[in-house]
């Protein structure tokens, strides 16, 4: 019985130390779905703008290629920005600091 209570205290202490990291990755599936949707939308928007420019200017598949490339570039920038943001949150969680987003949320209350 004594060892169970000690084990429970050890597990609670471990959970308290890992709390920020657990909160960081708690809704990973939703975040990845949102990121995928945003990237797909950026590429589709580039293709649509290129297709519209081709239709207005009477060119044949010139601007759709430019729009496609622009959409992919914008999507790559989004992936880079998201990776940097996630890296910062992971580093903050590893140090036990609240993430920048959490600190702004607590300032508002």
Could you give the C-alpha distances from 21 to 28, 81, 94, 105, in angstroms and in order?
A: 12, 20, 7, 17
pLDDT digits (tens, 9 = 90+) for 34-91: 888 999 999 999 999 999 999 999 998 999 999 999 999 999 999 999 888 888 877 8
Could you give the C-alpha distances from 5 to 10, 14, 15, 36, in angstroms and in order?
A: 9, 14, 15, 45
pLDDT at 109: 45
Q: Tell me the whole-structure pTM to 2 decimals.
A: 0.61
């Amino acid at each position: 019985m004594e060892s169970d209570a000690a084990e429970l205290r050890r597990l609670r202490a471990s959970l308290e130390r890992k709390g920020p990291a657990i909160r960081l990755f708690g809704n990973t599936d939703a975040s990845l779905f949102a990121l995928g949707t945003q990237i797909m939308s950026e590429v589709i928007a580039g293709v649509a703008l290129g297709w519209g420019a081709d239709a207005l200017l009477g060119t044949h598949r010139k601007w759709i290629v430019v729009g496609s490339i622009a959409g992919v570039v914008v999507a790559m920038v989004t992936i880079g920005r998201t990776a940097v943001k996630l890296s910062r949150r992971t580093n903050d969680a590893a140090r036990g600091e609240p993430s920048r987003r959490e600190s702004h949320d607590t300032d508002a209350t």
